Structures are given as C-alpha cells and as structure tokens.
Amino acid sequence: MDHPRKRRRFERVTSTTILAPAKLTRSLRVTGVRNDGLHLIDAEMVTLDLFDELTVTRGGSGVSFIDERNGGVPLDIDPNNNLVTRAATLAGVELGAVVRKRIPAQAGLGGGSADAAAILRWAGFDDVEAAAGIGADVAFCLVGGRARVRGIGEQVEQLDFEDLAFTVVTPQLACPTPVVYAKWDELGGPTSASGNDLEPAALAVVPELAIAKEQLGNATGLTPRLAGSGSSWFVEGAFPEAGTVLRTVPAATE
C-alpha cells in the first residue's frame, strides 16, 4: 500500500495551453429589443485565424492578462470579474489562467467572448444557451466556424464553412458595446445599407471611426463594413498593404 506522503511527492500541477480564436460579424441586423432591454439580432459570424492564448491550470487560482500586442505588458483587468472567471463559474471549475491577449479589446472581434468560450470548451461545457447568458458572442465562439446567430446570441445555426480572407483595420479607439447599443436605441433603431445596423450608432458615439473607414476604402476601392459594434473595419479579400489579412477557420469539430 502506498504511503500518502509518497503519493503526494509525485503529484504535479499540470497546465494546459489553449487557443481562443477571434470572430468577425460579417452582417448584423438588430431585429428588436426585449422587455429586459437586451437586443435581438440576426447576424452571420465567422471564426478567424487570430488567437488569444490561455495557459490554464485546473484547481489553480487567479486570472491575469498580458497584452502581447504591446510587448507583454500586464493588463489592468479585474481578476475576479471578467469573462474568463464567469466562464469558469458557469462550468463549475476552479482554475488559474494566464491570458495572452492578441485580439484587440473593444474592437468588435470578440476577444473576451473567445476567451470565455475557450474555457468552456476546455471544461467540456457545451450548453450554448447558457453560454450566451454571460456574453452575447460567447455562444457563437463556443460553436465556432461559420454560423447564423439570432436571438440575443443564443441561437446558433451552423452554416457550411467558406474559406475567406478579410482585410481588417483596427484604429486605437474603444467602442464599448453597451454604449453603442444605447446610442442605437437613442437614434430610434436605424438600419444601415452597409449590412451592419450598429454602424450609424458607432459613428455617432466615436466619430473618429470614419477616418479609418475612409482610409481602408481608399486603399482597397471597396466599401468597408464595421465589425460588430466596432472599432474594427473590414473588407472582403486580401489587401496586405491596407491592413491585417485574416482568414476564416472551421469550427474545432469540423
């Protein structure tokens, strides 16, 4: 019979590195507002080959964030109140995590949602409707690939994968999603010919966004579309001289 002390000597805390891919909202219609103030959408979303990297330790404690885009600078994010810790709570797991951020924040590319979904996948949690309860884009990020997303984000209908390239420009401007939706309400719920109904609201909240849109349009000869609630703009096709070229990737199960 093994002695307990002997067994403990060989116990090791193991860490796992997982990837959290960004998402791009190709089109977004706001179809209504629920009584609780949450907005209903009808959108097409795709997964991109831009990833945050999470080093996760089961049974650990504390979550820290490192900005890989700016030389590995620690980010000032509440370690006890963020989408990673909410995802862990939802999945019923205790963990420690170091999140290396490569997806820009408040850019419409789903960075926080991608991190939360990566934790849910790691924990074996696949309840899409519950995932949407901690963040509207978490449900899609949990499924991944290409999908039609409706409701408040909890209705995810997978679509056939398409190998696509997008040129993306992200100005150093923050577009907080709740503020953009509140402005959309204030403006009377406008639609947009661009294919993203949030574009007029985002431009009203952050008028400087128009500069990046114009620059990307001039460089490509195409009309840019806002990614989600912003601040990123994109056009379809690869124009490396105009911005960052990202490609779609299939869902992990495909």
Look at residue 176 in the predicted model and tell me its pLDDT: 92
Nearest C-alpha neighbor of 19 from the set 96, 75, 102, 140: 102
Residue 12, pLDDT score: 58
Residue 8 domain flag: no
Which pLDDT value is given to residue 253?
Answer: 61
Provide block-wise average pLDDT over 10 residues at a time, the chain (254 residues).
Answer: 48 82 98 95 98 94 90 82 95 95 94 97 96 95 98 97 98 94 97 95 97 98 97 98 97 70
Report whether 143 contacts 84 (CB < 8 A): no
Q: Is residue 1 a part of any domain in this protein? A: no
What's the CATH number where 233 sits?
3.30.230.10
Q: What is the dihedral of CA 105, 109, 110, 115, to 10 degrees?
A: -70
Overall number of domains in the chain: 1
Q: How far is CA 144 from CA 21, 41, 78, 217, in A?
A: 9, 17, 27, 28
Q: Is residue 4 part of a domain?
A: no
Q: Under a CB-based contact definition with an 8 Å cutoff, are residues 36 and 133 in contact?
A: no
pLDDT of 226: 98
Please pick, among 52, 115, 137, 197, the residue that the annotation labels catalytic. Answer: 137
Structure tokens at 160: 């056939």
β-pair partners for 225? 234
The token pair that represents 119 in the structure block: 């934790």
Does any domain span residue 10?
no
Question: What percent of the chain is helix, strand and coil (3-state, nearest 5)?
Answer: 30, 30, 40
In a domain, 182, yes or no: yes
Residue 99 is part of which domain span? Answer: 15-247
Is 6 within a domain? no
Q: Which of 23, 101, 183, 213 is catalytic?
A: 23
Q: What is the pLDDT of residue 60?
A: 80
Residue 17: the pLDDT is 96
172 lies in a domain? yes
Q: Is residue 5 included in any domain, yes or no? A: no
- pTM here is 0.91
Q: Is residue 137 among the annotated active site residues?
A: yes
